[in-house]
């Protein structure tokens, strides 16, 4: 079994775990085997915010339902993460003083083992002394992928909230789609009947209710680089209180040449996100990738895709990498990709893509989607004046205070001032079911006071 670990300095993996007996301690020992000086700032956890730590002796499968390819999270001291080279006995770690005066651990040698079974691996004799032909074939097959196109996506359709997508594309128009931007889609996974009954195991459709755009920067190539998000855990908690989860991501990008749909970076990221949503390779997931761009005629196009299960497997094994041509994924030297009966060093991104049908709807959960978005470069920081501007519409044009409060972005702003454990749950309950659980007058008073509202509301 393979477990992947997302840290604040990258994604690692620990292999050859026994699915029946592996514990959290085994994962930690696997990390220390390649990074002997590592120091954890937050323990291994099931959630990105590291709020749900995994007890060290706990079985991975039985207690946490983790399987092959599952992702867990941690935070570490970046200066202690230098990787030892297991294939080079002369590889030594030494302390080095950086320009800022910090002490870092670095490798003194990183020579490759030329006699390895495959690049980056030990020689066959070092793995075990005796080999049969069947042993060799079985070993070799673990590192070969016969590239096959997946004809149909797991996701049979995605329904996008019209107002949320319109706001995202309007922001892209403000800089003429000249740069890329991404956001996470929050909603529900549905079954064939269009409902999210938890008793139904097969979920193959997506309904998107809101978009959250995390902190990001524009890189030198016009793409985007995600920054550390101090509010990541708050967003996840708020979504959960509203009965939502992360169901996809959206990429806004400049026009691209015909046939170029997703870049290698986007394909690999999509596979990572699908793996995270599925909890590994064992389960299917309808987690979707949506693209928003503009054509030469000025019309906006919105499309949806999934990457194939084979792509997910290759990314889980770290067999795919980015290369000089963004339209192709490079195959890691340890692995072999077979296309049309021949080994290939690259794979066209389009081989990994499956098309997902799109439809639209007007969210019944959120009555409005007008509150300013967080983390937008061209907008001023969201303030209490924005809160006042929206809530002051209560009693006008048919709007009620409850209606205006039913806005994902507004609720996210309120979470900075109200307690997530005690205040937000009843407020979110009133948003989800306003008829049977109307908003308490006390919370109305608190929120109106925060917004600086006077008189009736």
pLDDT number for residue 103: 47
Across residues 262-275, what is the average pLDDT? 94
Half-sphere exposure of 20 (CA within 13 A, CB side): 0
Strand partners, 360: 160
**What is the C-alpha to C-alpha distance for residues 74 and 45, in angstroms, rounded to an integer?**
6
Across residues 216-229, what is the average pLDDT? 80
Kindly report the backbone phi and psi dihedral angles of residue 349, in degrees, each rounded to the nearest multiple of 5, phi listed first.
-55, -35
Strand partners, 106: 94
Alpha-carbon 67 to chain mean position: 18
Strand partners, 290: 250, 304
Q: Is the pLDDT of residue 147 over 50?
A: yes
User: pLDDT of 156-179, one tens digit each?
Assistant: 999 999 999 999 999 999 999 999
What is the number of other CB atoms lying within 10 angstroms of the CB of residue 103? 10
Q: Is the pLDDT of residue 440 over 60?
A: yes
The confidence band for 255, taking pLDDT boundaries of 50, 70 and 90, is: very high
* SS3 state of residue 431: helix
User: pLDDT of 285-316, one tens digit each?
Assistant: 999 999 999 988 889 999 999 999 999 999 99
H or E element, residue 75: strand 70-76
Q: Which residues contact 362 (CB under 8 A, 6 or more apart)?
A: 161, 162, 163
pLDDT number for residue 95: 44
The confidence band for 138, taking pLDDT boundaries of 50, 70 and 90, is: confident
Alpha-carbon 98 to chain mean position: 32
What's the chain's Rg over C-alpha atoms?
Answer: 25
Q: Is the pLDDT of residue 44 over 50?
A: yes
**What is the C-alpha to C-alpha distance for residues 204 and 156, in angstroms, rounded to an integer?**
6
318: left (phi over 0), alpha (psi -120 to 50) or beta: left
The confidence band for 118, taking pLDDT boundaries of 50, 70 and 90, is: confident
Across residues 421-433, what is the average pLDDT? 96
Q: Quick one: tokens of 177?
A: 């789609």
Q: How many helices (H) and strands (E) does the chain have?
A: 13, 22
What average pLDDT does the chain have? 86
H or E element, residue 166: helix 162-174
Residue with more model confidence, 101 or 55: 55
Q: Is the pLDDT of residue 347 over 70?
A: yes
Q: Is the pLDDT of residue 20 over 90?
A: no
Residue with more model confidence, 250 or 105: 250
Q: Is the pLDDT of residue 62 over 70?
A: no
User: pLDDT of 69-91, one tens digit each?
Assistant: 788 888 888 788 877 654 444 44
pLDDT number for residue 86: 47
H helices present in 217-356, as ranges: 232-241, 264-278, 309-316
**What is the C-alpha to C-alpha distance for residues 249 and 212, in angstroms, rounded to an integer?**
9
**What is the C-alpha to C-alpha distance for residues 117 and 125, in angstroms, rounded to an integer?**
9
Residue with more model confidence, 196 or 31: 31
pLDDT number for residue 222: 64
**What is the C-alpha to C-alpha distance for residues 327 and 318, in angstroms, rounded to an integer?**
18
Q: Which residues contact 434 (CB under 8 A, 6 or more apart)?
A: 402, 406
Using CA atoms, how far residue 449 sits from 148, 384, 394, 455, in Å, is 60, 10, 14, 10
**E strands present in 119-218:** 144-146, 157-161, 181-190, 205-212, 216-218
pLDDT number for residue 93: 45
**What is the C-alpha to C-alpha distance for residues 255 and 232, in angstroms, rounded to an integer?**
30
Percent of the chain exceeding pLDDT 90 equals 55
Percent of the chain exceeding pLDDT 70 equals 87
pLDDT number for residue 12: 84
Q: Is the pLDDT of residue 111 over 60?
A: no
Q: Quick one: tokens of 249?
A: 């991501």
Q: Is the pLDDT of residue 128 over 80?
A: no
- Are 239 and 301 spatial neighbours (Cβ–Cβ below 8 Å)? no
pLDDT number for residue 201: 64
Across residues 49-75, what is the average pLDDT? 80
The confidence band for 109, taking pLDDT boundaries of 50, 70 and 90, is: very low
Across residues 53-69, what is the average pLDDT? 78
The residue behind tokens 């080999």 is: 131
**What is the C-alpha to C-alpha distance for residues 229 and 234, in angstroms, rounded to an integer?**
10
**What is the C-alpha to C-alpha distance for residues 93 and 281, in angstroms, rounded to an integer?**
35
């Amino acid at each position: 079994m393979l477990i992947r670990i997302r840290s604040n300095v990258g994604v690692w993996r620990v292999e050859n775990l026994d699915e029946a007996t592996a514990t959290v301690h085994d994962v930690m020992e696997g990390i220390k085997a390649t990074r002997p000086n590592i120091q954890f700032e937050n323990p291994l956890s099931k959630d990105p915010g590291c709020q749900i730590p995994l007890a060290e002796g706990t079985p991975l499968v039985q207690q946490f339902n983790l399987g092959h390819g599952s992702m867990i999270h941690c935070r570490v001291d970046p200066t202690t993460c230098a990787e030892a080279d297991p294939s080079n006995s002369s590889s030594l770690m030494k302390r080095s003083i950086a320009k800022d005066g910090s002490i870092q651990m670095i490798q003194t040698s990183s020579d490759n083992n030329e006699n390895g079974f495959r690049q980056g691996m030990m020689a066959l004799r070092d793995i075990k002394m005796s080999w049969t032909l069947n042993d060799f074939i079985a070993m070799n097959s673990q590192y070969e992928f016969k590239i096959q196109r997946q004809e149909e996506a797991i996701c049979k359709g995605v329904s996008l909230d019209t107002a949320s997508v319109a706001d995202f594309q309007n922001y892209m128009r403000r800089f003429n789609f000249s740069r890329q931007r991404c956001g996470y889609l929050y909603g529900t996974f549905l079954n064939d009947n269009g409902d999210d009954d938890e008793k139904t195991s097969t979920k193959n459709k997506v309904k998107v209710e809101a978009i959250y755009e995390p902190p990001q920067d524009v890189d030198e190539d016009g793409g985007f680089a995600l920054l550390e998000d101090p509010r990541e855990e708050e967003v996840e908690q708020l979504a959960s209180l509203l009965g939502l989860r992360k169901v996809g991501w959206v990429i806004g990008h400049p026009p691209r040449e015909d046939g170029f749909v997703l870049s290698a970076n986007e394909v690999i990221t999509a596979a990572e996100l699908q793996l995270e949503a599925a909890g590994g390779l064992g389960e299917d997931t309808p987690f979707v990738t949506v693209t928003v761009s503009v054509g030469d005629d000025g019309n906006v196009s919105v499309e949806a895709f999934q990457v194939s299960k084979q792509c997910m497997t290759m990314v889980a094994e770290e067999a795919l990498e980015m290369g000089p041509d963004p339209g192709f994924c490079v195959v890691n030297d340890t692995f072999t990709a077979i296309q049309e009966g021949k080994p290939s060093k690259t794979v066209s991104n389009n081989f990994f893509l499956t098309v997902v049908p799109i439809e639209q709807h007007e969210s019944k959960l959120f009555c409005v989607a007008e509150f300013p978005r967080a983390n937008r470069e061209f907008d001023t920081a969201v303030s209490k004046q924005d809160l006042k501007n929206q809530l002051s519409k209560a009693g006008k044009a048919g709007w009620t205070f409850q209606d205006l409060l039913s806005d994902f972005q507004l609720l996210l702003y309120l979470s900075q001032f109200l307690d997530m454990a005690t205040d937000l749950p009843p407020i979110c309950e009133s948003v989800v079911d306003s008829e049977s659980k109307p908003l308490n007058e006390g919370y109305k008073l608190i929120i109106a006071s925060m917004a600086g509202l006077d008189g009736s509301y």
